[in-house]
Amino acid sequence: MMREINFDGIIGPSHNYAGLSPGNLAATANAGAVAHPRAAALQGVAKMRANLALGLAQGVLIPPPRPDHDWLARLATDYDAAPAHLKAQALSASSMWAANAATVSPAPDTGDGRCHLTVANLVTMPHRSHEWQATLAQLRVAFGNERHFAVRAPVPAPFGDEGAANHMRLCAAHDAPGVEVFVYGVSGGPFPARQHVEASRAVARAHGLDPARTLFVQQSTAAIAAGAFHNDVVAVANERVLLTHEQAFEDRDGFYADLRRLLPEVEIVEVPASEVSLEDAIGSYLFNAQLVTPPDGQPTLIVPGEARANARVRAWIEAHLAGNGPIRRVEVVDVRESMANGGGPACLRLRVACDPATIDPRFLVDDARLDMIAAVIERHWPEAIGPDAIGDAALLARIATARAALIEALGLTELQG
Ligand code: SUG
């Protein structure tokens, strides 16, 4: 039975605010703030519990070893000798944003009828450019059943690829052939365009997608300039529903026309700039929501608390729910520690539509397994990391112990190291 499973990145014990992502306004605004890894990770667990309570299937991905000593060694240094910026880049917990782990094409869309996952290279930001090795190793375990999955290494640099955050799939149902939409950026604005069209095209070819049902759509330069460093900050799709800001795409009319031609039943919910400006959208992360269909069939939007706190966004949500719009329910989750680094509910999860029975069960969670994960977090995750702690030997030892304890609890010993 095919269904959507959300794999959330467990927020790692090294979570901190180092301001490493130009163009990500929250992350740069919070540079130097004190982070709370334990609270952050428990917020992530609570979000997963809320998904389970809706009747959704839930999975996890574990944090990679941090600091990344292998990366520093390839840079001919080590943690003690490295300059401050390399220390911060090696320590980052950025793999928590699992929407950037890989691009996923479910089995009904691909040439060989398997679900394909291409790990993202994340080459644009130095602190994210060394995530892929551990992600590839982990996805090869979780989706190791080669009859059902193909887990692929990243496309080569210099073509930046940030994975599912710039990819949407619209379909009549998860097990029906979809229309896959790859959203890319064009450089030239004040901030880097992280998704290169050449990378998107390579992923689509590798997955054997039908060119007639694959769209390559340019993200609007205005959206990137306003701080939408990934498409999932201004648009989200699920099944036949696309929820998008009016200014998300460079050629919005052309894109909508293509979508309607390929999927006549598509429902496009466009939020006008006159009601919610790009600034409000990016400040509130309304679109960085999980749009899901729980077993009761009611399309549900899972938004961060920041979306409800914005009066204009709240007004739009209330008007949509009161009207006859396709989204029937809105749930609010508190992921503020992640939000302060520019990562909302949608960033924290990688969606995979497949039969849960084909996945390594150690990556799937129920309430009891979440209790176990929460106990490890309570016991081992640092309470706070401030900017001065980055070079602290005791902190590094604690982070290593914390990860080892999580691996032990989940029985994922082959990922130790
Ligand atoms: O890549 N933040 C992440 C946030 C990623 C959000 N993901 C999605 N939109 N899908 C990023 O900019 C901040 C790290 C720091 O500054 O310490 C960071 O990497």
Query: What distance in angstroms lies between residue 316's CA and the mean position of ligand 1's atoms?
Result: 26
Give the position, in ligand 1's atom list, of the atom nearest the Cα of 162: 10
Please give the Cα distance from 158 to 32 (Å, whole number): 30
Q: What is the dihedral sign for C-alpha 391, 395, 398, 402?
A: negative
- Are 224 and 187 in contact, with CB atoms under 8 Å apart? no
pLDDT tens digits for range 228-281: 999 999 999 999 999 999 999 999 999 999 999 999 999 999 999 999 999 999
Neighbouring CB atoms inside 10 A of 369's CB total 18
Those residues whose C-beta lies under 8 Å from the C-beta of residue 42, and which sit 6 or more positions away, are 374, 377, 378
Query: What distance in angstroms lies between residue 137's CA and the mean position of ligand 1's atoms?
Result: 21
Q: What pLDDT band is residue 1 in, cutting at 50, 70 and 90?
A: confident
Say what the pTM is.
0.97
Task: Give the residue, out of 100, 103, 135, 291, with the most ligand 1 atoms within 8 A of its beta carbon, to mutate for a pocket test.
Answer: 100
| Tokens encoding 94 | 């950025």
pLDDT tens digits for range 84-116: 999 999 999 999 999 999 999 999 999 999 999
Ligand 1 site, CB within 6 A: 17-21, 24, 27, 92, 94, 97, 99-100, 125, 128, 165, 229-230, 232-233, 341-343, 347
Residue 188 has pLDDT above 90, yes or no: no
Give the position, in ligand 1's atom list, of the atom nearest the Cα of 99: 10
Phi-psi region of 163 (alpha: psi -120 to 50; beta: other; left: phi over 0): left
pLDDT tens digits for range 348-406: 999 999 999 999 999 999 999 999 999 999 999 999 999 999 888 899 999 999 999 99
Please give the Cα distance from 318 to 316 (Å, whole number): 6
Catalytic status, residue 230: yes
Catalytic status, residue 354: no
What is the amino acid identity at position 123? V
Instruction: Name the residue with the closest Cα to ligand 1, atom 17.
Output: 18
Residue 168 has pLDDT above 90, yes or no: yes
Q: What pLDDT band is residue 175 in, cutting at 50, 70 and 90?
A: very high
Q: How far apart are the first and last CA of the chain?
A: 35
Domain boundaries, the chain: 3-415
Q: Does domain 3-415 have CATH number 3.75.10.20?
A: yes
CA-CA-CA-CA dihedral for 13, 388, 33, 120, to nearest 10: -50
Query: What distance in angstroms lies between residue 15's CA and the mean position of ligand 1's atoms?
Result: 11
Instruction: Name the residue with the closest Cα to ligand 1, atom 7.
Output: 347
Query: What distance in angstroms lies between residue 218's CA and the mean position of ligand 1's atoms?
Result: 21
Query: What distance in angstroms lies between residue 339's CA and the mean position of ligand 1's atoms?
Result: 9
Please give the Cα distance from 349 to 361 (Å, whole number): 17
